[in-house]
Amino acid sequence: MSIISQKSHVHCTVNNCQWWEGPNLCIAEKILVVSDEFAKKLPNEMDVENTNQIVDDLGSSPVDECYQSCCKTFVPRDKYQAEMGGSEYNNVEV
């Protein structure tokens, strides 16, 4: 499977996320989206760098509607600034 290089604009309205930047853009370099069902099973520390492990352990996570998906890369800005939240990736300096 090849990965196609692309430049994306990810729009987000969750303005208390560390990766949110006005006007409503996500500035995270990488984003992991899983089903809500998987998100409930995974600890907060599991994010982009664990994608292969998640797929190996749980498989893929197809959904039928957009509301059944979850951005696993979310980190509350206040916790990030207090060095209390997110995965290793999410705790990098920005």
Q: How far is the C-alpha of 16 from the C-alpha of 19, rounded, in Å? A: 9
pLDDT tens, position by position, 51-77: 999 999 999 999 999 999 999 999 898
pLDDT tens, position by position, 34-44: 999 999 999 98
Q: What global pTM score does this model have?
A: 0.71
CA-to-CA separations, 27 to 23, 43, 53, 62, 78, in angstroms, rounded: 11, 22, 24, 25, 17
Q: Copy the structure tokens of residue 83.
A: 């060095």
